[in-house]
Amino acid sequence: MDPKKLAIVAVTIAIAIIGLTNGVSLFAFQGSENPNTDTDTPLTGITEDRDLLELGLQVPDSWSFAMSDGTTLSLVDLRGTIILVDLMATWCSACSTQNTYLETVYESLAGSLVIISLSVDVSETPSMLDDYKTTKGLPWDHGLDSNSTFSTYFGVTYIPSMVLIDVDGYFRYFHVGLWNAASISDRVVDIT
């Protein structure tokens, strides 16, 4: 094949791949049954920027997640700390953008907030998340949304989505889409 035509084909394929990658950043998920929440009522109709305080829902003691370092994280062990759960996937370009906001929040609220990124993509593994975290130089914990715990409970259909949990273990806020550092910080200050 002519080198010029080959170059045009290669550029066209590269543009198509980049377009597809950016186009699926907000990925739709099908809900699945979650064996960890048999006794819990999954939330339905949660919309972006929902204050959850009036619902009075506490994180179930049974919720635990496989982490990128090979450990298992139980959210009940983090009671007494404000937790921001970032629901994401390694292939999500909007999630990469969200990481820049989370880095700012991580630096400015160190010690008063724990950030945990959980992949909602069931095909991802702890080692994939470890590679992602290391490659991107992200200092907070990464893991899997094991058994689609958060995805099912909150009816997550788009990523990034985030859940803010207060020091007493109550769900306080749910956000869909990119969430800038100033808005996250304001919400954290509101619940302290």
Q: Given this model, what pLDDT does residue 25 score? A: 41
Q: Given this model, what pLDDT does residue 24 score? A: 41
Q: Is residue 156 part of a domain?
A: yes
Q: Given this model, what pLDDT does residue 112 score? A: 87
Convert the pLDDT of each residue in 99-149 to its tens digit: 999 999 999 998 889 999 999 999 999 999 999 999 999 999 999 998 899
Query: Is residue 55 pLDDT above 70, yes or no?
Result: yes
Q: Is residue 44 part of a domain?
A: yes
Q: Is residue 76 part of a domain?
A: yes
Query: Is residue 161 pLDDT above 50, yes or no?
Result: yes
CA 81 – CA 105 distance, rounded (Å): 15
CA 20 – CA 106 distance, rounded (Å): 30
Residue 26 bridge partners (DSSP): none
CATH classification at residue 33: 3.40.30.10
**Percent of all residues in the chain with a pLDDT value above 70, rounded to a whole number:** 76
Query: Is residue 162 pLDDT above 80, yes or no?
Result: yes
Q: Is residue 2 part of a domain?
A: no
Q: Which domain holds residue 182?
A: 28-191
CA 92 – CA 169 distance, rounded (Å): 28
| Total tally of structural domains belonging to the chain | 1
Give the three-class secondary structure for 60.
coil
Q: Is residue 15 part of a domain?
A: no
Q: Given this model, what pLDDT does residue 68 score? A: 95
Tell me whether the omega of the peptide bond preceding residue 139 falls within 30 degrees of 0, making it cis: no
Residue 143 parent element (H or E)? strand 141-144
Q: Is residue 74 part of a domain?
A: yes
| pTM confidence score | 0.76
Which of 163, 159, 176 lies closest to 26, judged by CA? Answer: 159
Q: Is residue 83 part of a domain?
A: yes
Token duo for residue 166: 């207060």
Overall average pLDDT of the 148-167 stretch:
92
Convert the pLDDT of each residue in 30-48 to its tens digit: 333 333 333 344 555 555 6
Query: Going by DSSP bridges, is the β-strand pair 141-144/113-119 parallel, antiparallel, or unpaired?
Result: parallel
Q: Are 156 and 87 in contact (CB under 8 A)?
A: yes
Q: Are 148 and 120 in contact (CB under 8 A)?
A: yes
Q: Is residue 19 part of a domain?
A: no
CA 20 – CA 12 distance, rounded (Å): 12
HSE-up of residue 133 (Cα within 13 Å, Cβ side) = 22
